[in-house]
Structure 1
Amino acid sequence: MAKVILERLRKVYPNDVVGVDDATFEVADGELLVLVGPSGCGKSTLLRMIAGLESITSGTLRIGDRVVNDVPPKDRDIAMVFQSYALYPHMTVAENLGFALKLRGHDKAAVAARVREAAAVLELDALLARKPAALSGGQRQRVALGRALVRHPQVFLLDEPLSNLDAKLRGGMRVEIARLHRQLGATMVYVTHDQIEAMTLGQRIVVLRDGRIQQIDTPMALYERPANLFVATFLGSPGMNVLRGRLEQADGLRLVTGGDSVPVDLTSAGLDVDAAWLGRDVALGIRPEHLQPKPDGQGAALAPTVEVVEPVGNEVFVNLRHGDAGLVARCPPQVLPTPGETLPLGLPPGCVHVFEADGEGRRLSA
């Protein structure tokens, strides 16, 4: 395996359309790093640049100790798993697994040994004689992974490999990929638009927006201390609630919002605010799990109106309206509130995130 180093990588298409701008980071040897962001953010372009399928406008790309900017894809010692399975329908599973090795001139015995090895790792032993039409979606995806695995590459590149699977299969395949990574100790770069996949699979995550890196960190560090409002609202399901208003010190710290909103009492949240923040317009971020029901109203920071209640078994999502702002509270199963009534909510200490209201919504610091 090998590390991958990107130094100020940039991709510009005709008419000065920037696909990736100033991408700089390192994928450690044996690390599973996830590139995540909305459609069009540049994550697949960046992966294809690593693979050699997109040319690099400027910057330096290293795989191991080699600069590979101008090295053809076949000579980079990488293996790529695409969104489509791209299996040969007339070939058996065994033939699909071994085809790339056959093209590279490996003898039959070596191909057979590598195929058996990959099949054992991915639990495909009983399926080797089948053709793709006789496989489920999850089995086809495992064959696509196996086709990369047999090559023993330095780096695995996975471009949204689970997007064609239903929710249950996606969950199962996430576990398969994580298990495979632990077993192989392989260097993997994984692209997804699904933040749940990113959070559950990645040892570190690169969050992209409009071709630029927003933040790089471990999943929980990103969740607990996002660098800006985009990262805060992109990661998490449901996403972070945002209230906009002005910070004021009056009988405790408050967020005074516009319209018909009632001020939000931030005293209980233990927010450490520099005096320079007072009077400033800010965006206040609160995770759904931190909006805690206070049925008796004691210690409540706000009392929004219940709009929709979504019980999902082990938890309840309560959709609320606080003035002009929509909120979601994640609550334990209990007596469900009734749409139209108010629901007093408290804020535990250390749960509030404060961001600049304008521009990129960067985190404010004391």
Structure 2
Amino acid sequence: MAKVTLDRLRKVYPNGYVGVADASFEIEDGELLVLVGPSGCGKSTLLRMVAGLETISSGELSIGERRVNDMPPKDRDIAMVFQSYALYPHMTVADNLGFGLKLRGMGKAEIAERVGAAAAMLELEPLLQRKPAALSGGQRQRVALGRALVRQPQVFLLDEPLSNLDAKLRMGMRVEIARLHRQLGTTMIYVTHDQIEAMTLGQRIVVMKDGKIQQIDTPMALYNRPVNLFVATFLGSPKMNILWGQVDERDGDLSLRIGEGVALNLRPDAETREKVRAYVGRELTIGLRPEDMHLAEAGPDTLAAQVEVVEPVGNEAFLNLGCGGCDLVVRLPPYNLPRAGDTVHLSYAAERMHFFDRESELRL
């Protein structure tokens, strides 16, 4: 196990494109850290730089106490699990698990011991004599994890390892990976574009966009206090509702006028109130999570909205609504739902509002 330190790590391609811009953070010894962001944000590039599969343009990378910038991948004491399983089709599961150890000159007895331990941990023992073609997608992914596991590396690197699996298998494998990390206590860096994977697996999450780190924090800290509009809307499913309009003040009360005759009452906490007051007469962006809005009787603290689509998904339902030119989604219990075309009234948790500058998109 080892701590991984990135100090102003940068990747610039020959055409001048910046794939990763000055990434600086530490992954603690034994931590499971997730890199998340949309396609092309630089998360896999950053992971490959840690692995030694991408050259580092500038900055310092350390694994444990060693600077590894120019060290070949085989000497970094890391193991990587890729999106594709990359198993040898002509080898059995047992041979696939032990092949890397055989290449390193390890003795047969130790290889057998390590393969047996990994197979037991991943419930692969009945499959050891099968070949990859006779395995399901989930079983193949467990073999790929086991091949990394037998190496007993200081750091595990996982690059979107579940993206080829269906939804049910992904859920099961998320639990498997979390359990493995708890048992092994090994440092893990996990890359995904799936914010649900990021939220459920990561002890901390690094959110990236356009090669730049947007925010680093625990999952719920990111969810509750996103530093900007991108983080706010990227994390959460359905994503955060965004409303915008002009801030008005009357008799000391603040409101957001989001359309003709449509206003949202603002009750920011004492710390935020003066920041919001500075926007009186100017535009401001407000964020509200789908679970922070509810159906209610018409009243001064409600919004009128028209139901556009109703999405019942079993244990809950999502209402897609239009309100003052803004699109909203509300999460509800799946009972007594309105129909498309109905006009409904929404109450909202004013204390759960998020406030963002309209131009910079930064949190107030």
| TM-score interval for Structure 1 and Structure 2 normalised by the shorter chain | over 0.9
Q: Are residue 132 (structure 1) and residue 142 (structure 2) matched?
A: no
Q: 1:85 to 1:140 in 2, by over 3 A?
A: same
Matched with 1:183 is 183
Instruction: Check whether the contact 1:299–1:346 (CA below 8 A) recurs between aligned residues.
Output: no
Deviation at 1:31, TM superposition (A): 0.2
Q: Which residue of 2 aligns with 1:293?
A: 295
Question: How far apart are the structure 1 equivalents of 2:301 and 2:127?
Answer: 59
Residue 277 (structure 1) shift: 2.8
Query: Displacement, 1:276?
Result: 1.7
Structure 1 residue 314 corresponds to structure 2 residue 315: yes
Matches within 5 A, 1:14-163: 14-163=14-163
The separation in 2 between residues aligned to 1:206 and 1:261, in whole angstroms, is: 41
- Residue aligning to 2:236: 236
Distance (Å, rounded) in 1 between the aligned partners of 2:78 and 2:203 = 20
Distance 1:286 1:231, change over 3 A: same
Deviates more, 1:324-333 or 1:275-284: 275-284
Q: Could you tell me the TM-score, scaled by structure 1's length?
A: 0.96
CA displacement 1:13-57 (0-9 Å, x = unmatched): 012100000100000000000000000000000000000000000
Q: Give the percent of matched residue pairs that are identical in Structure 1 and Structure 2.
A: 69
Deviations 1:189-244 (A, max 9, x none): 00000000000000000000000000000000000000000000000000001011
Could you tell me whether the CA contact under 8 Å between 1:266 and 1:347 is conserved in 2?
no
Q: Tell me by how many angstroms 1:257 deviates.
A: 2.2
Give, as a single letter, the amino acid of the residue that structure 1 aligns with 2:328: L
Q: For the residues of structure 2 that align with 1:224 and 1:338, how far apart are their CA atoms?
A: 31
Give the AA of the match of 1:334.
Y
Alpha-carbon offset, residue 334 of structure 1: 1.9
Instruction: Supply the distance in 2 between the matched residues of 1:249 and 1:301 (Cα, whole angstroms).
Output: 18
Are 2:281 and 1:279 equivalent residues in the alignment? yes
Deviates more, 1:59-68 or 1:298-307: 298-307
Deviation beyond 6 Å, 4+ runs, structure 1: none
The question of whether the paired residues in 1 share the 8 Å contact of 2:264 and 2:301 is answered with: no
Q: Give me the whole-angstrom Cα distance separating, in 1, the residues matched to 2:112 and 2:312.
A: 51
Q: Does 1:257 align with 2:250?
A: no
Q: Which residue of 1 aligns with 2:201?
A: 201
* Counterpart contact for 2:77–2:154, Cα < 8 Å: yes
Q: Look up the match of 1:303.
A: 304
CA RMSD of aligned residues (A): 1.3
Q: What one-letter code is carried by the residue in structure 2 that aligns with 1:230?
A: F
Pairwise CA distance, 1:71: 0.3
For residues 326-365 of structure 1, the aligned pairs below 5 Å read 326-359=327-360, 361-364=361-364
Q: 3-state SS of the aligned residue for 1:317?
A: strand
Q: CA deviation at 1:299?
A: 5.5
Instruction: List gaps (5 residues or longer) in structure 1.
Output: none
What is the TM-score of this pair, normalised by structure 2?
Answer: 0.96
The answer as to whether partners of 1:300 and 1:344 remain within 8 angstroms in 2 is no
Encode CA deviations 1:310-355: one digit per residue, 9 max, x unaligned.
1111111000001221110001122111211211111124210000
- Kindly tell me: are residues 137 and 218 of structure 1, through their superposed partners in 2, closer, same or farther at Cα, counting changes over 3 Å? same
Q: Give, as a single letter, the amino acid of the residue that structure 1 aligns with 2:308.
A: E
- 1:170 is matched by which residue type in structure 2? R
| Matched-pair contact (CA < 8 Å) for 1:270–1:349 | no
Question: Which amino acid is 1:288 matched to?
Answer: P
